[in-house]
Every structure is written in C-alpha cells, then in structure tokens.
Amino acid sequence: MTLQKVDKVYEKYAWVIFTVIGLLVFVGGAPHTLGNNSNPDVVESFVGMTTSEFKASNQNFYDVYDYYFRGGGWSDMGFGFFVIVISATLYRKGDRFAWYILWSVPVFFLGHAVIALNFGQPTSLFIPFLTVFVVLSLLGLVLPVRKYFPK
C-alpha cells in the first residue's frame, strides 16, 4: 500500500498568489500601452511642467518619453502574461523549474524599487506597493518549498 502525500493548503494554492500578481501587472500595464499615465505628478516633478506642457515645449523629447512609457506598458503586460501562464500551469502542477523561473517576480519588483529609490521623492510613493509585491511573491515561493524540494 502506497501512501500519497497530501499537500497542505498553502502548498496547493501558492500558485494563486502568482496568478493574481501576474494579472495585476498585466492589467496595470494596459493603460500605459495607450499612453495613459496613472500618475502624471511624477512626470511633472521630473520635468517641471505638466505632461501637456512637456509635449508642447519639445515634441521630440516627449516622443522619446512616450515611446519608452508605452514600451514599458507592453513589457509589463508581457511579464504579467508569462507569470500568469507559468503559475497557472507548471507551478500549479509542482514543476520545480517553474519554481526557479518565478524567482524573477521578486527580482522584477526589487528592480523597480531600486529604480524608484534612485529618483527619490517623486517615486518613493511606489515603495510600499512594491514591498507588498516582493513579500507576496516571496511567500508564494517559500510556503510551498517542501512541495518542490521534498526531503
């Protein structure tokens, strides 16, 4: 008679944490692909004028900003999509390789935090949100560790 190991609830459903994070990153990036800045105060604090004033003052510099801003939105959507797919399939099944891949999630948010801290006051309001995502993603990796590395 073979005994099957029964996963604990936090091991069985840790994939949901990453699916939700991926969904939030995906949805958060969507408006940026259209050029909609959810926090135009950050741009104003950097360039000393509103986004529309910035666009009117130097169209070429604004076009560069807009290109990278929209590209960042597409990057966020791509990253979020892959996190959703990996967590809802491979990670959910218990694939160890998925566990390694999903270490990119806390690294992603830590990278954003480092960039935000580099710019100081205007972007420091992002730090609490980034911290929550780092902690949640670390929990999603650490809680089911015995599932991926049994004794």
pLDDT above 80: residue 118: yes
The reported pLDDT for the residue numbered 63 is 92
The rounded distance, in Å, linking the Cα atoms of 81 and 103 is: 15
Q: Do 77 and 29 meet the contact criterion of CB atoms below 8 Å apart?
A: yes
Q: pLDDT digit string (tens) for 35-69?
A: 888 788 888 888 888 888 988 998 999 899 899 99
Q: Which residue has the tokens 């902690």?
A: 135
* Residue 76 near residue 84, CB atoms below 8 Å: no
Residue 4 has a pLDDT of 62
pLDDT in tens, 120-133: 777 788 899 999 99
Say yes or no to pLDDT of 75 above 70.
yes
| Number of neighbours of residue 145 by Cβ within 10 angstroms | 12
pLDDT band of residue 15 (cuts 50, 70, 90) is: very high
As a whole number, mean pLDDT of residues 114-125 equals 82
